[in-house]
Structure 1
Amino acid sequence: MTLLHNPVIRGFAPDPSLVRVGDWYYVATSSFEWFPTIPIHRSRDLARWEYAGHVRGAVPGDSLAGVPDSGGIWAPSLSWDGERFWVVYSVVRSVGTPYFDTDTYVSTATEVGGAWTPPRRVASHGFDPALFHDEGRLWLLNLQNDHRPDGRRFSGIVLTEIDPETLVPVGDTHLLMQHERLIEGPKLVKRDGWFHLVLAEGGTGVEHGVLMARSRAVTGPYELDSQPLLTTRDDPSVPLQKAGHAELVETAGGEWVMSHLVARPLRTPDGPRCPLGRETAIQAVIWDKDGWPRLRQGGWHPAVEVEVEVATRAVRPESGPESGSAGPESDAVAPESDAVAPESDAAEPGADLGWPWSTLRGPADPGWADSAVRPGWIRLRGRHGPESRWAHSLLAQRITEHRAEAEVTVEAGPRTFTQAAGLVLRYNAEAYLSLDLTWAEAEGEGQRGQQWRGGGRTVLSLVEREEFGTRRVAVVDVDASAPLTLGVTVEDGLAQFWYVREGARALVGTPLDFTKLSDDYGSKLRFTGAMAGVHAVDLVDASFTADFTGFRLTCW
């Protein structure tokens, strides 16, 4: 038995889709407006997970320019047909409107960290698609969206058979289920002659849960389980909240486990807030005497510590699908070698700009992010401001614990208030904290923007941005003739920025509310998580550059 501690993938890893291939388990998670698109982690024991790659080229043209915050790639579903991995996902281009404006794509690969086929579009009834492989047939599950003024935006679960080669629909689309409570995130698994439909219920907040239904025929009719498989909606004291969006998988030893999302709230005077976003957890599952899945510990609340059986079996020549599918069980050896760099929350100065770095709406590009021009440093060329949906020069990493510290050394010479570079804590364009090296008028002079006349001073400017406006918290004069180290410490829901002056930390401004960088603050839909990183801005001609070294993010 292996003891795992939930969440197993910590910090902004929502909507986990779990599949087993031989002795390896793989999880794909949502990436929204962030790159790399569709991160994939892998594990042999379900307790220790490492980054294994991502779905390269998931977005046509490798660009999500213009998509809103929390748009982009929602809820990928990963599966295995015995020879290759499949992933299906939706690119959502409208958030908070009746029209999600989704494009649903399918891509395949023989190795999750290798080359993925160019995405091919399939029927886009709504978001949360999944593929179900059954005896050589391929079925596409989806949420149905009804955008009409009197329609239900979450209007049931639909199923369409598609040709495995052309991906063209075969026959009619079937309405599997409608329900008075919101249902989404459908997955199918076949066991003992039953088709089990796994449903995310109640939305992605504190009402989230997992509801089961089953049928003897894949097209229905489906009967609902009398109780939820998983939820925390009835008890706000459970440490893992928002539990839902699940997938069932049989282990190599014949046991069953379930991947699902959770969130770890901080308790604030304004209610619980989850700045780490939604994370990936694993539960042990048994089947009751009536053939319904149940949590092994009883009830429907997720456990923090879970013992799982991951016994391996001898490798057989034949292989088959393991999750979201039916057919012979797979004992295929995972195609990748063991030579995968483990996931880390730190990056060596000048290292490759891949994982754990993330970027907004497009991959890192040497045209604006270059780790080769100056050994040991990363050079960013300033582009749009931090609220841009198009071309913000930002490198960031996921914050994985409620206590964290980030620091970086920056060298730059801003000559105008339109140029800035520094350290950022970011949730989205309307929720960030930034400490930037920039230009300001001489002491006592108003903001008249006449920097081209010379003069002025170099300052550190601390800014707090929230949904309801922007506030300049503090301005500190600094000497930028030498590299300057900036930092921030996050503890007890507060973020205290600082810089190094004469070998010691000097505080900048007062502690700021870190919990506003969460799913739960403000009036708009939010689905990602807090990140720490570096950025550069040049609003005039994108010629200003800043060099960064020694970035460190420590979470505990």
Structure 2
Amino acid sequence: MIRNPILPGFNPDPSICRVGEDYYIATSTFEWYPGVQIHHSRDLVNWTLVARPLNRATQLDMRGNPDSGGVWAPCLSHADGKFWLVFTDMKRIDVSFKDSHNYIVTCETIDGEWSDPWYVNSSGFDPSLFHDEDGRKWFMNMRWNHRGPGTGGNAAHAAFDGILLQEWSPEAGLFGPITNIYDGSPRGLTEAPHIFKRNGWYYLTVAEGGTGYGHAVTMARAKEITGPYETQPDGHLLCAADAPDHAIQRTGHGQYVETPDGQAYHTFLMGRPLPGRFCPLGRETGIERCVWGEDDWLYLEQGGMLAREALPGLADAEPAPTVASEHDFRDGLPPEFQWLRTPYPDRLFTTGPEGLTLFGRESLGSPFEQSLLARRQEHLVYSVETRLHSAPETYQHAAGLTAYYNAHKFHALALSCEADGGRALTILSCAGDWPDGAVTRYPEAPVAVPDGPVELRVAVDHAELQFFWRVPGGDWQPIGPVLSNAILSDEGGRGAHASFTGCFVGMFAFDLTGGGASAVFDRFVYAPKP
């Protein structure tokens, strides 16, 4: 059985691609580096991370990008013997403007070295590439109207100014007329276009309603790729807006795929809210099985618009069991870890016989150069333990363990130096978006710790988070109060339309003197509970 989500934790905007009997899903990574996650499966049940293709400065440099900026909505396809990946690098997300630059990279193998990018345009975000049967390639993106009332014709949200279509080739770039092919359904906020062709129809899948609880997957079709497109009779393929008690919410932004024997599936992003309607695991990836009606429209296999938590897969397979993972970093950085924004990780960390060495850079939350190595929270209940070797010389040196959503939503247990020169632990907590959020210290009187290594622990149980510490071989001691894990979600702070990534847990170091003081971590254990 397939169990939704198929990609738990922060894995939004799933673009699915089949090559033979192999299935690949590309998801957005926003400000986390390297850019784009690509998972592989042969049964649609179990998925393995196989590539993060945007991994060098000539492809992607996000220093200075805002929280929830960076890599938006990749589109993965395969044609002409190679993979094609389209993506947006979003440089601004607030106020009226969206500075969104769209690129294409290619590679003959999914896990090879991807090309330097072709720049395509900047008229909007959520780009997509369709390879037609005659060999022509068509580029799409939604157009953003910063002025107010849009010309896309949809009063539900004037800034979302329709889906643009134009022919593209590697040699000529964009050429020919620009056609606004679809202005959306009455739900509005129409974005994330993908086209596929079946039985003489061009089918357009879009996301609508915003990425919160009004999200939806909408389909339209036309006989010519340039339109006119008619919207599906039921309004949407997937939408949970009218079912607030359903376990799977926020369904939208996905793509159609067909198996070699003609079975139909559609991916989507989703959220699993806890009481109070917050999703600490962020926007995850789900999939549903669909059927084609006699009217040549696509419908969910079970009817209605609500996604199931379990559905048939392609093989007699069950999801892999939940297990703990432990690393000492002597063999390099494990694949689940990422850092923020910069294409120059050698300035942030190194791995070797001693473990993971972080070089203190800018403060927690800096949008430029921040030494933070972390992995996704993938479970509602988990704990993380790490062992830290650090000798801070001033209160401007700090290193430790953090549960981190963004610059204004994090909790961190920091080992630093106090006025008497001794080492001490304190919690640095930021519980909301600027300007309402400010860093608070818990406890106000830092806890002195002896020389030598110190072990740090964070335990999360749904909406609650607690830090602990000990000297090696000692007993775990709680430090500070039970904190809100609900804050570390899309819904925390300014809400799901202002931040839409996910929570990470990992190690950090900062040195506000600019000296690059180092800290060593030689153990990291992520222990989830089903």
Measured against the shorter chain, the TM-score band is over 0.9
Residue 44 of structure 2 contacts residue 314 of structure 2 at CA under 8 Å; is this kept in 1?
no
Say yes or no: does 1:262 pair with 2:233. no
Q: Within 5 A, what are the aligned runs for 1:100-139? A: 100-134=98-132, 135-139=134-138
Q: Within 5 A, what are the aligned runs for 1:296-307? A: 296-307=301-312
**Distance change (3 Å), C-alpha of 1:114 and 1:205:** same
Comparing 134-143 with 469-478, greater Cα deviation is found at 469-478
Residue in structure 2 matched with residue 273 of structure 1 by the alignment: 278
Q: Within 5 A, what are the aligned runs for 1:192-271? A: 192-227=199-234, 228-267=236-275, 271=276
**Distance change (3 Å), C-alpha of 1:552 and 1:412:** same
Counterparts of 2:181 and 2:460 in 1: how far apart (Å)?
Answer: 46
Residue in structure 2 matched with residue 318 of structure 1 by the alignment: none
User: What is the TM-score normalised by the length of structure 2?
Assistant: 0.92
Q: Within 5 A, what are the aligned runs for 1:467-546? A: 467=433, 468-474=437-443, 475-501=445-471, 503-523=474-494, 525-546=498-519
Residue 56 of structure 1 contacts residue 115 of structure 1 at CA under 8 Å; is this kept in 2?
no
**Secondary structure of the corresponding residue to residue 504 of structure 1:** coil
**Secondary structure of the corresponding residue to residue 366 of structure 1:** helix
Counterparts of 1:428 and 1:389 in 2: how far apart (Å)?
Answer: 10
**Secondary structure of the corresponding residue to residue 246 of structure 1:** coil
Deviation at 1:484, TM superposition (A): 0.4
Which letter does structure 1 place at the counterpart of 2:370? H
Which residue of 164, 172, 175 maps to 1:170? 175
Q: Within 5 A, what are the aligned runs for 1:1-400? A: 3-57=1-55, 60=58, 62-134=60-132, 135-151=134-150, 152-163=158-169, 165-179=170-184, 180=186, 181-227=188-234, 228-267=236-275, 271-309=276-314, 346-363=326-343, 365-372=345-352, 375-400=353-378
Counterparts of 1:62 and 1:413 in 2: how far apart (Å)?
Answer: 34
Counterparts of 1:182 and 1:503 in 2: how far apart (Å)?
Answer: 54
Deviation at 1:469, TM superposition (A): 1.6
Counterparts of 1:40 and 1:130 in 2: how far apart (Å)?
Answer: 16
Counterparts of 2:288 and 2:348 in 1: how far apart (Å)?
Answer: 42
Residue 31 of structure 1 contacts residue 74 of structure 1 at CA under 8 Å; is this kept in 2?
yes
Residue in structure 2 matched with residue 314 of structure 1 by the alignment: none
Q: Can you list the C-alpha shifts for 1:249-270, whole angstroms capped at 9, x where unaligned?
A: 1112211111111111111xxx
Residue in structure 2 matched with residue 333 of structure 1 by the alignment: none
Counterparts of 2:100 and 2:172 in 1: how far apart (Å)?
Answer: 17
**Secondary structure of the corresponding residue to residue 10 of structure 1:** coil
Residue in structure 1 matched with residue 319 of structure 2 by the alignment: none
Q: Can you list the C-alpha shifts for 1:100-154, whole angstroms capped at 9, x where unaligned?
A: 1111000000111101110110022210010000020000011011111444221
Q: Which runs of 5+ in 2 are unaligned?
A: 151-157, 317-321
Counterparts of 2:10 and 2:323 in 1: how far apart (Å)?
Answer: 14
**Distance change (3 Å), C-alpha of 1:40 and 1:345:** farther
Counterparts of 2:385 and 2:178 in 1: how far apart (Å)?
Answer: 53
Residue 35 of structure 2 contacts residue 60 of structure 2 at CA under 8 Å; is this kept in 1?
no
**Distance change (3 Å), C-alpha of 1:96 and 1:59:** farther
Which letter does structure 1 place at the counterpart of 2:507? V
Residue 353 of structure 1 contacts residue 364 of structure 1 at CA under 8 Å; is this kept in 2?
no
Residue 59 of structure 1 contacts residue 119 of structure 1 at CA under 8 Å; is this kept in 2?
no
Q: How many residues align?
A: 505
**Distance change (3 Å), C-alpha of 1:304 and 1:406:** same
Comparing 19-28 with 119-128, greater Cα deviation is found at 119-128
Q: Aligned-residue CA RMSD in angstroms?
A: 1.8
**Distance change (3 Å), C-alpha of 1:213 and 1:62:** closer
Counterparts of 1:118 and 1:308 in 2: how far apart (Å)?
Answer: 36
Residue 71 of structure 1 contacts residue 93 of structure 1 at CA under 8 Å; is this kept in 2?
yes
Q: Which runs of 5+ in 1 are unaligned?
A: 312-341, 442-454
**Distance change (3 Å), C-alpha of 1:182 and 1:473:** same
Which letter does structure 2 place at the counterpart of 1:511? V
Deviation at 1:343, TM superposition (A): 11
Deviant stretches of 4+, over 4 Å = 342-346
Counterparts of 1:20 and 1:343 in 2: how far apart (Å)?
Answer: 29
**Distance change (3 Å), C-alpha of 1:63 and 1:343:** farther
Residue 341 of structure 2 contacts residue 367 of structure 2 at CA under 8 Å; is this kept in 1?
yes
Comparing 250-259 with 363-372, greater Cα deviation is found at 363-372
Residue in structure 1 matched with residue 426 of structure 2 by the alignment: 461
Counterparts of 1:389 and 1:230 in 2: how far apart (Å)?
Answer: 35
**Secondary structure of the corresponding residue to residue 371 of structure 1:** strand
Deviation at 1:84, TM superposition (A): 0.4
Which letter does structure 1 place at the counterpart of 2:165? L
**Distance change (3 Å), C-alpha of 1:49 and 1:344:** farther
**Distance change (3 Å), C-alpha of 1:236 and 1:167:** farther
How high is the sequence identity, in percent, across the aligned residues? 35
Say yes or no: does 1:428 pair with 2:374. no
